[in-house]
Structure 1
């Protein structure tokens, strides 16, 4: 059976003003899909709208705000209210300090965005797709949800939550007509590290020095692939790494001689 025509898709994307979200919005819109672009930066939403015109519906709100999230979804005008892909992508990492030195506000922000905001997005959008018996729920996870590394304490834990939640949602929805996919990137050069290091550009750039990292466009292509599969195919997970990245060896902290 042939791949889905992207022109039949209406894609709601959170975190659409930067990185993977912005790249995914552009990937779908350039293929003729309608896109509901959700973000907090009005000027970037306006730029997307200027680029693609009527294919983009900008929605400015914070996914951590339950009332704003539900109100915005309820207010969608036709034909954008008939969304059949929801990409719960909004998320971030803050800091790389060890657990005993980490900033509680950073932890709180990561949990509220990566978990709570994601849950609001899903709960606000999923019932309509289930009622229509057609849709696709896509998450942005991370290799950090499987592989621990120093300083990823709460960030990695939030992505482990996303991974398991996506699988549990699929257990609920299999056979419903709504598909579920978790996208789990490794090293990807976007604004991710700039945010993680509170705007320290030089520190962020060091993460990618000497490495041909993946890009937001690379990950957007994976989302596009999963969402344009024939409707009888569900891609449970896509985990990817830059070709220069790998699994860390187990560490042994030895006593001094």
Structure 2
């Protein structure tokens, strides 16, 4: 039996890279998309024939279309897509914030995620597939003045809406909502917080459920 196929954006580091490792260990093949071509090629090299490196910018719709087309052509189909690419803000707040940086935030945290859904859904429909979105604890509660948090509120709302749409044809949508994770997202290490592998395990848990069970949200927080 051929392995199932997972497309991952933001795949070169952090949660994306950890999810690739966890998925391959669980028997999946993976398509890896990120802007860092060198890191992506090195990661794909760990997996041999189970991975395809797809360098590109997730905020470019045409680049995502091309990546998914190459992935489907290479492995023969698509069973799941993980819209994981995202960023925070260097200058938080509305009055003191940088509108140009807001645009970058929205382009990656919202538009790129929508692009992943758009390009993958026709293929997922063929296999009653699964859409996974990286949300956040910041998308489940109000944080004073947080524009980043507001983008994650969008992700959580969209995930619920897509879960309702996809169930019409047997598909599933899950939002993974971690608290603080020790990844390159932060400028300084966070050794007492979640590890990327914790979020990756949540992704694989959701993917591996029987077709009758839809895990719509996994909310995980550090104990420290």
Would you say 1:143 and 2:137 are equivalent positions? yes
Q: Report 1:62-77 matches (<5 A).
A: 62-77=57-72
**Whole-Å separation in 2 of the counterparts to 1:128 and 1:50:** 26
**Whole-Å separation in 2 of the counterparts to 1:149 and 1:242:** 18
**Whole-Å separation in 2 of the counterparts to 1:56 and 1:45:** 10
**Whole-Å separation in 1 of the counterparts to 2:91 and 2:144:** 7
Match among 215, 221, 224 for residue 235 of structure 1:
215
Question: Contact (CA 8 Å) 2:10, 2:33: kept in 1 or not?
Answer: yes
Answer with 1 or 2: which has the greater Rg. Answer: 1
**Whole-Å separation in 2 of the counterparts to 1:76 and 1:9:** 12
Matched pairs, number: 224
**Change beyond 3 A, Cα 1:119–1:77:** closer
Give 1:163 deviation, angstroms: 0.4
Match among 132, 143, 157 for residue 150 of structure 2:
157
Deviations 1:44-84 (A, max 9, x none): 11111221111010001111112222222223354524110
**Change beyond 3 A, Cα 1:133–1:34:** closer
Give 1:104 deviation, angstroms: 1.2
Matched position secondary structure for 1:137: strand
Matched position secondary structure for 1:174: helix
TM-score, normalized by length of structure 1?
Answer: 0.82
Cα RMSD after superposing both structures: 1.7
Match among 221, 225, 228 for residue 205 of structure 2:
225
| Matched residue, 1:25 | 20
Question: Contact (CA 8 Å) 1:89, 1:140: kept in 2 or not?
Answer: yes
Question: Contact (CA 8 Å) 2:135, 2:177: kept in 1 or not?
Answer: yes
Give 1:149 deviation, angstroms: 2.4
Q: Report 1:117-128 matches (<5 A).
A: 117-128=112-123
Give 1:96 deviation, angstroms: 4.9
| Matched residue, 1:134 | 128
Question: Contact (CA 8 Å) 1:9, 1:84: kept in 2 or not?
Answer: yes
TM-score, normalized by length of structure 2?
Answer: 0.94
Unmatched segments (≥5 aa) in structure 2: none
**Whole-Å separation in 1 of the counterparts to 2:10 and 2:127:** 26
